[in-house]
Amino acid sequence: MTVRDKLTAIFADVTRRNPGEDEFHQAVREVLDSVAPALQKHPEYADAKIIERICEPERQIIFRVPWEDDRGEVHINRGFRVEFNSALGPYKGGLRFHPSVYLGIVKFLGFEQLFKNALTGMPIGGGKGGSDFDPKGRSDREVMRFCQSFMTELYRHIGEYTDVPAGDIGVGGREIGYLFGQYKRITNRYESGVLTGKGLSYGGAQVRREATGYGAVFFAEEMLHAAGDSFDGKRVVVSGSGNVAIYAIEKIHQLGGTVVACSDSSGYILDDQGIDVALLKDLKEVRRARIDAYVQARPHARFNAGRPVWEVPCQVALPCATQNEIGATDAAALIKGGCVMVVEGANMPTSPEAIRAFAAAGVRFAPGKAANAGGVAASALEMQQNASRDSWTFTHSEQRLREIMRDIHDRCHATAEEYGMPGDYVAGANIDGFRRVAEAMLAHGLI
Ligand code: GLU
């Protein structure tokens, strides 16, 4: 049996054993499509069934989350924590609160997280969790009650040496605060390192909030530098308007690019003078408003309801919203609009058809597991500071983030060259991440 045949058989098994989990299948397939050359070079990985073991999470936890809304009505949501792989360190990865969350989403995110965390070179394994709870339109008290109920089950599974959750879509500083408070209350332990993304007043780290967006832009900057180019004067489109998008836009502007459009699930805004980041922060972080409110303060800008932001011509695109937000039609629109580089700030925002279209058109492409690793890398820095009861300055933390992103870029770039696929960041990221996990798993024996 050739290596390719083996991989095909493993993938068939993954789809059979995990029915209906399309996003998980997609994430597994993308990695399996890349790692054949590494398996050819390292037959010991196949002998130890490393791929089969990696595709099966170490532990999957599903639980009931009952809570009461402000009118006294009872709601039942479903909570998840998938502890994917602890070869490199305690399980690490965010919690997502969004109505679309089900086991297949949590598993795709946990699988991606494992390789992403490996790429950072830091001692963190892979995990992910969340709930189908929809925070949209909920009061602070309702969100608090939900978080307390969620943690009342989750606390028994996590810990600074076991599993360290953080935020993702729908989980930001407010939610992490409520989750931390409840963990502390139940366990009677001030265990700072049990969650990351904490507020600066109780053990949080500088630059964690900015890190995913800033990190993706640092990665993009390295790609531009590798081609003798820079952000200066570039017209950029960023999708989304949440935590990742906001800080990506901020950093692009600092580096001389202009972000002319961003979006939410209702549509996109086009502002040819460049998105006003302070206004966006006020809308999204303080007022939790929809994006159309932007044009009230900036009347020259336009709101396009229900339209894909990818129809806006640009040179560089950063998808920072959610999975599969760039389909084949969007990719065609981007290519037609002159886009030469796509860098994923979100997790798996580009569909396989769109990735193929970019490759065929010579559009440089960076996968999220490399380009958006800045968030989790800053989480690992937060854990480091918590463990030593230290706190670093903003400047120092940003410098560390920049170095980490440069390292990840250089490793993906070098690995792609080593395997005869220069410029293929997908292959570089998958192979390098996979090798790191595989080596640690081999060292630990059959567990
Ligand atoms: N949810 C983020 C991610 O997708 C951050 C996870 C973390 O900081 O643990 O990488």
> Is pLDDT above 90 for 1?
no
Q: Same domain, yes or no, for 252 and 171?
A: no
Q: Is residue 201 part of a domain?
A: no
Q: Same domain, yes or no, for 354 and 289?
A: yes
Q: Is residue 292 part of a domain?
A: yes
Q: Is residue 374 part of a domain?
A: no
Instruction: Please compute the mean of the pLDDT values over residues 258-279 and round it to a whole number.
Output: 98
Q: Is residue 296 part of a domain?
A: yes
> Is pLDDT above 90 for 224?
yes
Q: Same domain, yes or no, for 350 and 297?
A: yes
Convert the pLDDT of each residue in 67-125 to its tens digit.
999 999 999 999 999 999 999 999 999 999 999 999 999 999 999 999 999 999 999 99
Q: Is residue 64 part of a domain?
A: yes
Q: How many domains does the chain have?
A: 2
Q: Is 196 in the pocket of ligand 1 (CB under 6 A)?
A: yes
Query: What distance in angstroms lies between residue 179's CA and the mean position of ligand 1's atoms?
Result: 16
Q: What confidence score (pLDDT) does residue 351 get?
A: 98
Tell me the pLDDT of the chain averaged across its residues. 98
Ligand 1 atom at minimal distance to the Cα of residue 372: 10
Q: Same domain, yes or no, for 294 and 336?
A: yes
Ligand 1 atom at minimal distance to the Cα of residue 347: 4
Convert the pLDDT of each residue in 398-412 to its tens digit.
999 999 999 999 999
Find the CATH number of the domain harbouring 311: 3.40.50.720
Q: Same domain, yes or no, for 127 and 233?
A: no
Q: Same domain, yes or no, for 170 and 21?
A: yes
Q: Same domain, yes or no, for 219 and 330?
A: yes
Q: Is 375 in the pocket of ligand 1 (CB under 6 A)?
A: yes
Q: What confidence score (pLDDT) does residue 273 get?
A: 97
Q: Is residue 404 part of a domain?
A: no
Convert the pLDDT of each residue in 341-359 to its tens digit.
999 999 999 999 999 999 9
Query: What distance in angstroms lies between residue 166's CA and the mean position of ligand 1's atoms?
Result: 6
Instruction: Please compute the mean of the pLDDT values over residues 268-285 and round it to a whole number.
Output: 97
Query: What distance in angstroms lies between residue 312's CA and the mean position of ligand 1's atoms?
Result: 29
Q: Domain limits at 276?
A: 211-362
Q: Same domain, yes or no, for 288 and 335?
A: yes
Q: What confidence score (pLDDT) does residue 307 get?
A: 98
Instruction: Please compute the mean of the pLDDT values over residues 265-291 and round it to a whole number.
Output: 97
Ligand 1 atom at minimal distance to the Cα of residue 376: 8
Q: Same domain, yes or no, for 47 and 186?
A: yes
> Is pLDDT above 90 for 154?
yes
Q: Whose CA is nearest to atom 10 of ligand 1?
A: 376
Query: What distance in angstroms lies between residue 128's CA and the mean position of ligand 1's atoms?
Result: 8
Q: Same domain, yes or no, for 138 and 264?
A: no
Q: Same domain, yes or no, for 157 and 274?
A: no
Instruction: Look at residues 342, 362, 382 and tell me which one is the last residue of a structural domain.
Output: 362
Q: Same domain, yes or no, for 186 and 216?
A: no
Q: Is 129 in the pocket of ligand 1 (CB under 6 A)?
A: no
Q: Is 92 in the pocket of ligand 1 (CB under 6 A)?
A: yes
Instruction: Please compute the mean of the pLDDT values over residues 249-256 and round it to a whole number.
Output: 98
Ligand 1 atom at minimal distance to the Cα of residue 167: 1
Instruction: Look at residues 362, 396, 429 and tell me which one is the last residue of a structural domain.
Output: 362
Find the CATH number of the domain harbouring 98: 3.40.50.10860
Q: Is 347 in the pocket of ligand 1 (CB under 6 A)?
A: yes
Q: Is residue 441 part of a domain?
A: no
Q: Is residue 378 part of a domain?
A: no
Q: Is 376 in the pocket of ligand 1 (CB under 6 A)?
A: yes
Convert the pLDDT of each residue in 173-214 to its tens digit.
999 999 999 999 999 999 999 999 999 999 999 999 999 999
Report the 3 state secondary structure along the chain.
CCHHHHHHHHHHHHHHHCCCCHHHHHHHHHHHCCCHHHHHHCHHHHHCCHHHHHCCCCEEEEEEEEEECCCCCEEEEEEEEEEEECCCCCEEEEEEECCCCCHHHHHHHHHHHHHHHHHHCCCCCEEEEEECCCCCCCCHHHHHHHHHHHHHHHHHHCECCCEEEECECCECHHHHHHHHHHHHHHHCCCCHHHCCCCCHHHCCCCCHHHHHHHHHHHHHHHHHHHCCCCCCCCEEEECCCCHHHHHHHHHHHHCCCEEEEEEECCEEEECCCCCCHHHHHHHHHHCCCCHHHHHHHCCCCEEEECCCHHHCCCCEEECCCCCCCECHHHHHHHHHCCCCEEECCCCCCECHHHHHHHHHHCCEEECHHHHCCHHHHHHHHHHHHHHCCCCCCHHHHHHHHHHHHHHHHHHHHHHHHHCCCCCCHHHHHHHHHHHHHHHHHHHHCCC
Catalytic residues: 128
Instruction: Please compute the mean of the pLDDT values over residues 17-31 and round it to a whole number.
Output: 98
Instruction: Look at residues 307, 342, 362 and tell me which one is the last residue of a structural domain.
Output: 362
Query: What distance in angstroms lies between residue 413's CA and the mean position of ligand 1's atoms?
Result: 23
